[in-house]
Structure 1
């Protein structure tokens, strides 16, 4: 009898231990449509992005695929996710994390009349998941790019212009994390044989991004608004909280990540706020702050450097990282490098895009490019020149400050259109890079062979993001 009792006790112990182990796994629910389900894959059980995510994360995680082909977020859509068994399965799955990837099928013409309800329906689903007893972390996934306006009735244009902005608004209103899968696939049409569904390689890209997101070391962001001690206008920057305020009479902005990476890293946009923001958005996802202080149009002169020095000092009081990621598009390159030359120890890296590096080239127009008479007149005023002839002695462009720039020992990345008709590479990035290398500096150029001055950046900014993450040790 004692032997039987001991046997039962041991069995009960191992049964209980097994249950505890199963419950200790971090459970991830993937809510979505046919892309989540794995339609078109040879073996969705191993190739769908939830399956790949499971393989990447390992045994401490349990990734559940609740994808439904053709499903809509709309309750009155042609196939509401709400009415599927999978929705109830999600509600009963006790998830710790929920990824929501819906919206692609809502772009169909048949669902357009119901679109006014999309935002409300989406928020209802978010709140339903957040209300579960496990209080899961809910993360929104932007739909991947659809390379057609007619395949399966799905409209890539409508998705981009009308639906993604609504999802970003929801992320802002509900204070939710959001991942930009759209830009991730902007240059990957070859991975979508039917223009809509990714192949196994494409699904693996999604899984890798989700794995990186899950494993990144971040902590909850504490708003810096109270530290500004000035009236602040709060708004949304593609789903992120943006603080707009006045600094020394100039417009300033700080965009806050949902969760901040170690050390409070930040990227400093020099000019053209919000233009081609994909790199900024990608870094916000990864826990970087985004900042801006308008010094247009001072062309990197002493006054602009003084204002930026004070702005930098104000950020330091808030706890921002000592070294900034500098971002300069077009004439923004002058501001970035002139400040970096004066502050070499405060720069983590530079990302410049078709940058102006010689003010005689642009706006001066003293070489191959057309220049700008209006901006050249502003330049003359900013630097105290009365005539063009006198301005020819100017030595305050970035290309004239190579020694001061390389002193910072930070890496530089330029993205340039080889046939830039406004800021010719032959007068700006090419001679600049040659001089930087001769002086022992670290610079690389990504060439866009058919690229002109516009558009700036890259549709998928991953290579830029990877450069910045490496330079900042993130």
Structure 2
């Protein structure tokens, strides 16, 4: 069969574009900054079942990325005050970013903080007022951008908890209402970076809050508290859902 010149050029163009797509697959280094939900509290095996592990697994099988390495820096009970620059948690998170083997990979900080800030009492600084929450988050992001100029920061929306949540700390309806007020503050803060740091700071997942509100009994752990059984931490099923929500958000940013 005779192939004309035009067909050969078309074939060459296709092969070149396919090679470029394969060659340009991004390697990712992800540091997850967060609280007990990020940590994987209450899960049988947090090393494999916590949302960061699920998120990384999702991105590895998504097909558009190369190596995906991650570090779960979640800490139970931590608020934005515990994550301010200079705190042990912040120093450790930055050290984790520097410890990845492949320093040429795209560095991503995935942040989900707010649950413990919203508490009525019992956590560091609680309750953290809306303006202070926004300021603290900005200070954290600004320092990450300064110390890692090529990084991307993705702020995941917090997830719902039941209005009777009361363990070692008191949350209740007042806390839940405060938590909901943080969400538009996150979105507004991200908008401010569009001019100062274009394509570096993003809103991540926005769906998990309502998902867990609707599916609390099947996807959140049934925990005994001072006001009966409450729902706060994902169970293994819920952790898969949350991790995949985060993974889809990160994949969208990288698209």
Equivalent position of 2:152 in the other structure: 137
Distance 1:50 1:217 in 2: 17
Give TM-score scaled by structure 2 length.
Answer: 0.67
1:89 aligns with 2:107: no
Cα distance in 1 for partners of 2:47, 2:128 equals 35
Secondary structure of the equivalent of 1:63? strand
SS at match of 1:202: helix
1:151 aligned to which of 148, 163, 166:
166
User: CA separation in 1, counterparts of 2:176 and 2:251?
Assistant: 31
| Cα shift at 1:114 | 5.0
Distance 1:46 1:218, change over 3 A: closer
Native 8 Å contact 1:142 1:182 kept in 2: yes
Work out which of the two has the higher radius of gyration on C-alpha atoms and give 1 or 2.
1
Written as runs of structure 1 = structure 2, the 5 A alignment for 1:256-295 is: none
| 1:174 is the counterpart of 2:189 | no
Q: Which has the higher helix share?
A: 2
Spell out the pairing of 1:175-214 with structure 2 (5 A cutoff).
175=194, 176-178=201-203, 179-180=205-206, 181-190=208-217, 191-192=219-220, 193-194=222-223, 195-214=231-250
The superposition leaves residues 51-79 of structure 1 with CA deviations (integer Å, 9 ceiling, x where unpaired) of: 11232333701011010100001x3xxxx
The reply to whether residue 65 of structure 1 matches residue 72 of structure 2 is: yes
After TM superposition, the structure 1 = structure 2 runs for residues 448-467 of structure 1, keeping only pairs within 5 Å, are: none
1:35 CA drift (Å): 0.3
How far the C-alpha of 1:149 sits from its partner, in A, is 4.2
* Structure with higher RCO (Cα < 8 A, 6+ apart): 2
Q: Any gaps of 5 or more consecutive residues in structure 1?
A: 1-23, 220-474
Could you list the runs of 5+ residues in structure 2 that have no partner in the other structure? 1-25, 61-65, 99-105, 195-200, 224-230
Q: Report the counterpart of residue 41 of structure 1 in structure 2.
A: 43
Aligned partners of 1:86 and 1:130: how far apart in 2?
A: 17
User: What residue is the counterpart of 1:27 in the other structure?
Assistant: 29
1:104, 1:165 → 2: CA distance? 15
1:54 to 53, 56, 67: 56
Residues 33, 72 of structure 1: 8 Å contact kept: yes
Q: Is the 8 A contact 1:151 1:196 kept in 2?
A: no
TM-score (norm 1): 0.37
Taking the TM superposition and a 5 Å limit, the aligned residue runs for 1:12-23 are none
Query: Does structure 2 conserve the Cα–Cα contact (< 8 Å) formed by 1:146 and 1:196?
Result: yes
State the match for 2:132 in structure 1: 117
In the alignment, which of 96, 103, 127 is matched to residue 114 of structure 2?
A: 103
Paired residues of 2:202 and 2:253 also in contact (CA < 8 A): no
Instruction: Work out the number of aligned pairs and report it.
Output: 190
Q: Which SS does the other structure have where 1:183 is aligned?
A: helix
Compared CA separation, residues 103 and 57, structure 1 to 2 (3 A): same
Secondary structure, counterpart of 1:109 in structure 2: coil
Distance 2:56 2:107 in 1: 15
State how far apart, in whole Å, the 2-side matches of 1:203 and 1:87 are.
24
Equivalent position SS for 1:185: helix
Q: What is the alpha-carbon distance in structure 2 between the residues aligned to residue 49 and residue 114 of structure 1?
A: 27
